[in-house]
Structures are given as C-alpha cells and as structure tokens.
A = this chain, B = another copy of it.
Amino acid sequence: MTDEADLDQRHAEKMAKRKAARAKIIATKTIEKGLLIVHTGLGKGKSTAAFGLVMRCLGHGLKVGIIQFTKGAWTSGERAVIDRFPDLATIKVMGEGFTWETQDRQRDLAAARAAWAAAQEMMADPTLHLVLLDELNIVLRYDYLDVVDVVAGLQARRADLHVVATGRNAKPELIEAADLVTDMTLVKHPFRSGVKAQRGIEF
C-alpha cells in the first residue's frame, strides 16, 4: 500500500469511529426547552450573532421580539433586513443611547425600567419563539435594573421560549441562570491599529 493510500485508509477508520461516537452522544440528547442564551465578552460578535439567531428564526417563519436596551447597538443595516419581515419581527428601541451619550442617570434609569417592562410584555406573548434582549448586560452592569429581579423574570417565562441577552460584563447571576453562555473573546482588533468603523462590518 502506498503512503497516500495508507493515510486515506487510516483517515476513513478514524472518521468512522468519530461518526459513531457522535451518533451515540446525539442519541442521549432528547430534551427540548427554551434556552436562556448569553453572549458576553469584550470581543466582537455578541449582538451580531444574536442578530444571526433572529434571522435564522425569521427564515423558519418563526416570530421574534427584540428589545434594544441602548439605541446605538444596531443600525441601518440590521434594521433594513428585519423590516423585510414585518409580520414576524417586532423591535422596540427603548434606550436612548449608551450611558456616556445621555450622561443623565435618571433618564437612563427610567429608560431601563421601561425597556424591562416591554421585555416582560414580549416574553408573555405566546406567539413568539425567541426574544432578544440586546445590551441587557449594560443596564445590569450600571445597576439600572436589579439582577435578581431580572433573573426571576427570565426564569418565570414559559418553558419553550428562547431568550438571548447580550452585552459585555454579564453578571455572574445571569451566567448562573443561563443554559448557553458564550464569551466573545477579543484576540485581535483593528480599531487598535487606527482602522475606523466601516459599513457592513461595524454598522
């Protein structure tokens, strides 16, 4: 047998084993439940991946609700796409901007409370498949909402509703309550080398 043919054969054997192992694992996964998903970390992709989840649901014809806790998080590119699904997607922009834009703690507090009320209303809508709480973590971080109340509210949702919460510095209480947590870890960022935010990438 040539070296190349030997390599091919060993590859086939290894992959057959891997396939069998995977099938065995997958067979044990039988639970269906609404997940509490958290995207946190200092890297990029937290809101973008959540937006991707939203789009995936819309592609399946599933209804989605979105609360934006800060105005700045999403811009025209996302909105233009979401607006193609007026029957399936509802967006509520509740925050007025990042907290260093408003510089007004009382206004931020009121906006956060109104956003959480809207989120609870959305979570009570039995037709929704997924609710996205974009930049929830930022209002929790500034203690504009009480994390214990928020976690209790999330846990009180119906059993098959998926919720995604995004934002850096997720609180330990939220991570503890979540089913799926991904930390978008910054490895390398071009902003550090003088590259500015660009259309289609950052906004």
Is the Cβ of A190 less than 8 Å from the Cβ of B35?
yes
Across the interface, which residues of B come within 8 angstroms of A189, CB to CB?
180
User: Bound state CA distance, A47 and B56, in angstroms?
Assistant: 12
Q: How many copies does the complex hold?
A: 2
Binds B, one of A103-111, A112-120, A148-156: A103-111
Across the interface, which residues of B come within 8 angstroms of A183, CB to CB?
43, 184-185, 187
Q: For A187, give the chain B residue with the smallest CB separation.
A: B181
Q: Does A24 contact B (CB under 8 A)?
A: no
Is the Cβ of A196 less than 8 Å from the Cβ of B105?
no
Number of residues from A at the complex interface, CB < 8 A: 82
Q: In the complex, which residues 1-58 of chain A have their Cβ closer than 8 Å to any Cβ of chain B?
A: 7-8, 11-12, 15-16, 18-19, 22, 26, 28-33, 35, 37-41, 43-45, 47-53, 55-58
Question: Which of B40, B48, B58, B77 touches A59 (beta carbons < 8 Å)?
Answer: B77
Q: Does A101 contact B (CB under 8 A)?
A: yes
Chain A residues with a Cβ under 8 A of chain B = 7-8, 11-12, 15-16, 18-19, 22, 26, 28-33, 35, 37-41, 43-45, 47-53, 55-60, 62, 76-81, 84, 99-106, 129-130, 162, 175, 178-191, 193-201, 203
